[in-house]
């Protein structure tokens, strides 16, 4: 072979080699990336080529699939009581992708998961149409309905947990949206999506998991737990050395009480009527670092609480000064929390000091209903001892049972209820309407099957002076707890 032909042959060989390398790079190294790329329309088409598996509550599907006339997308997602369940399911849209459980468990729901390889292979031999698997949740339909109905036209959220297992029983957020309204690819679906995107009330925001609020006086149970755990209090009925007024450390600013009888009040009395001075002073006595230690055992500052939908991190400041720590100890300054986090606080106390990891997927099922994955309860931490948890239970139950307690509207006949109210100021110079909080648990002789956190962010038609945790949020928590108790009978 002469020299020019040899050069051409070598050059062509290099081109073929480069083509092979590139082809293998695309097919193997970048395959997953390209298959899931947002601009790969074939992924979306394939996702809706078959009936999607369902999300299950109480043994019944809260989702479905409807056949369409579209040339690309054969099926689209449908929802039962979509606005009520949207904070749980998320959405699956032909045009706008998916989120929450619909996104996180997309492989099982579409039937494309490696866990369903055997089912897909068998379908090839039998000629059966490909089907998706199911996601079975831990949710209680009765509890979710009570939460959603209780919130009504109010802006807010509810989270309810089984303290013994960590199973999420309810997760409601209002205002909400209907995922069915933009599940397709038609013009009306785009209009519905754009309207939601522009809505200042943020109906697509999952307030139970993804919004953080100042917890107000509900945080006082965390401060009480820290005081008990770190030895600042050993007798919850003994008088505390709390002056009236109490001056915040290193300032001339008096701590304002909205209750009477706070001077030297015992821890029991201080929680009953919600004395700011007692808990601000206790927080200072415990100190920032030990307050931080207790808060973090409850879940604060943890950016990886997955349900499997990831919750926003609740915050207890790690670097604040003494006066700010005192304010944070009553749930103000920059202490911020999700409703889920405060339900976890109530659940840990109800469960004698053991905090279970919250989760809302019980199991994953194949199309023929075989269980392919089962989630089991998992301990997350021990924020406080059994003894101190039981002391806190006495205090929270007194908040509900005492005639002068702030949580009387949460009482349930035939059950023992422990609770704590909170009214959190916010906005510059507290100019905005306060948030109304209530955290609680209910128990019977069989144990404590439910802990709840409710926050009402804004309640139209209610005067500012009437916005209280006990008045607005307490009845919602009561109805959710009652729904769970009745479902256990």
Residue 380 CB neighbour total at 10 angstroms: 18
Residue 233 counted as domain residue? yes
H or E stretch covering 400: helix 386-401
Q: What is the span of the domain harbouring residue 417?
A: 209-367+377-487
- Establish if 389 belongs to a structural domain: yes
Q: Is residue 134 part of a domain?
A: no
For 243-290, the pLDDT digits (tens) are 999 999 999 999 999 899 999 999 999 999 999 999 999 999 999 999
Domain for residue 19, yes or no?
A: no
Neighbours of 8 (CB within 10 A): 11
- Choose the catalytic residue: 140, 173, 176, 217: 217
d(CA 270, CA 417) in angstroms, rounded, equals: 18
Task: Kindly state whether residue 288 falls inside one of the protein's structural domains.
Answer: yes
Q: For residue 234, give the CATH number of its domain.
A: 3.40.710.10
* DSSP output for 239-250: PP---SSEEPTT
151 within a domain of the structure (yes/no)? no
pLDDT digits (tens, 9 = 90+) for 391-443: 999 999 999 999 989 899 999 999 999 999 998 765 454 556 789 999 999 99
CB 453 within 8 A of CB 420: no
In a domain, 129, yes or no: no
How many domains does one find in the chain?
A: 1
Residue 464's pLDDT is 43
| 359 part of a folded domain | yes
**Could you report the per-residue pLDDT of 373-384, keeping only the tens digit for each?**
999 999 999 999
The per-residue pLDDT for 72 is 80
- 448 as an active site residue: the answer is no
Q: Do 297 and 341 meet the contact criterion of CB atoms below 8 Å apart?
A: no
Sorted by sequence, the CB contacts under 8 Å of residue 63 that are 6+ apart come out as: 52, 54, 55, 77, 78, 79, 80, 89
Cα distances from 407 to residues 125, 148, 157, 417, in angstroms, run 62, 21, 19, 9
């Amino acid at each position: 072979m002469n020299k020019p032909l040899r050069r051409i042959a070598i050059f062509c060989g290099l081109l073929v080699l480069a083509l092979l390398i590139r082809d293998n790079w695309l097919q193997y190294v970048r395959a997953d990336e390209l298959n899931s790329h947002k601009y790969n329309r074939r992924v979306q088409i394939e996702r809706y080529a078959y009936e999607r598996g369902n999300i299950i509550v109480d043994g019944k599907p809260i989702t479905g699939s409807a056949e369409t006339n579209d040339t690309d997308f054969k099926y689209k997602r449908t929802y039962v009581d979509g606005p009520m369940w949207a904070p749980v399911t998320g959405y699956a849209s032909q045009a706008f992708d998916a989120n929450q459980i619909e996104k996180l468990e997309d492989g099982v729901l579409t039937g494309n998961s490696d866990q369903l390889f055997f089912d897909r292979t068998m379908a090839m031999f039998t000629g059966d149409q490909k089907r998706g698997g199911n996601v079975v949740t831990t949710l209680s339909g009765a509890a979710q309905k009570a939460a959603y109905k209780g919130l009504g036209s109010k802006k807010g959220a509810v989270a309810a947990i089984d303290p013994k297992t960590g199973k999420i029983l309810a997760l409601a957020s209002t205002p909400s949206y209907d995922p069915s309204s933009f599940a397709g690819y038609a013009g009306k679906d785009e209009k519905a999506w754009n309207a939601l995107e522009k809505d200042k009330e943020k109906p697509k925001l999952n307030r139970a998991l993804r919004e953080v609020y100042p917890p107000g006086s509900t945080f006082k149970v965390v401060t009480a737990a820290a005081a008990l755990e770190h030895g600042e209090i050993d007798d919850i009925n003994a008088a505390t050395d709390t002056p009236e007024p109490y001056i915040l450390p290193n300032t001339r600013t008096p701590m304002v009480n909205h209750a009477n009888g706070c001077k030297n009040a015992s821890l029991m009395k201080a929680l009953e009527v919600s004395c700011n001075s007692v808990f601000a002073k206790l927080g200072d006595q415990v100190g920032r670092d030990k307050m931080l230690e207790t808060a973090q055992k409850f879940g604060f500052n943890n950016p990886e609480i997955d349900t499997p939908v990831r919750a926003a991190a609740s915050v207890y400041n790690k670097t604040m000064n003494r006066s700010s720590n005192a304010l944070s100890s009553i749930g103000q300054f920059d202490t911020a929390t999700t409703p889920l986090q405060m339900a976890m606080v109530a659940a840990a106390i109800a469960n004698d000091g053991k905090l279970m990891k919250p989760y809302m997927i019980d199991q994953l099922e194949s199309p023929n209903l075989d269980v392919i994955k089962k989630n089991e309860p998992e301990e997350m931490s021990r924020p406080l001892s059994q003894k101190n948890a039981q002391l806190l239970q006495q205090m929270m139950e007194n908040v509900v049972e005492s005639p002068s307690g702030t949580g009387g509207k949460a009482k349930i006949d035939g059950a023992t209820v422990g609770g704590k109210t909170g009214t959190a100021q916010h906005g510059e110079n507290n100019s905005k309407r306060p948030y109304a909080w209530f955290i609680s648990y209910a128990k019977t002789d069989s144990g404590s099957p439910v802990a709840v956190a409710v926050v009402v962010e804004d309640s139209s038609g209610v005067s500012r002076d009437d916005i209280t945790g006990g008045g607005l949020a307490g009845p919602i928590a009561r109805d959710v707890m009652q729904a769970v108790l009745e479902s256990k009978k």
